[in-house]
Amino acid sequence: MPPVVVTEQPNRLRVRLQVGENPDNGRPLTRTLSFRVKENATYQDLYDVALALSGLLAYPVFDITLTENKVLAE
């Protein structure tokens, strides 16, 4: 079996904002901002940038997610 080849793809930092609540069930309504980030950015730097951006936004941050994308092939 040939070795697996890993190809890096652009990572995405997603900052989800709570823009309100659903009046029917009380669940939060959210909107997502998405940013491409370099693969070599540290987790701490990404978190610090997300927090800095949140200070400029009108809505509170609901959560911050980093999606690391890699393509696996033979």
- The answer, yes or no, to whether residue 2 has pLDDT greater than 90, is no
Q: Where are the domains of the chain?
A: 5-73
**What is the rounded distance in angstroms from the CA atom of residue 39 to the CA atom of residue 26?**
37
Neighbours of 13 (CB within 10 A): 19
In the numeric block, the tokens 């949140």 are attached to: 54
- pLDDT one-digit tens code per residue, 48-73: 999 999 899 999 999 999 999 899 99
Could you tell me the CA-to-CA distances from 33 to 3, 36, 47 in Å, in that order?
36, 10, 14
pTM value?
0.78
Neighbours of 15 (CB within 10 A): 20
In the numeric block, the tokens 């690391």 are attached to: 68
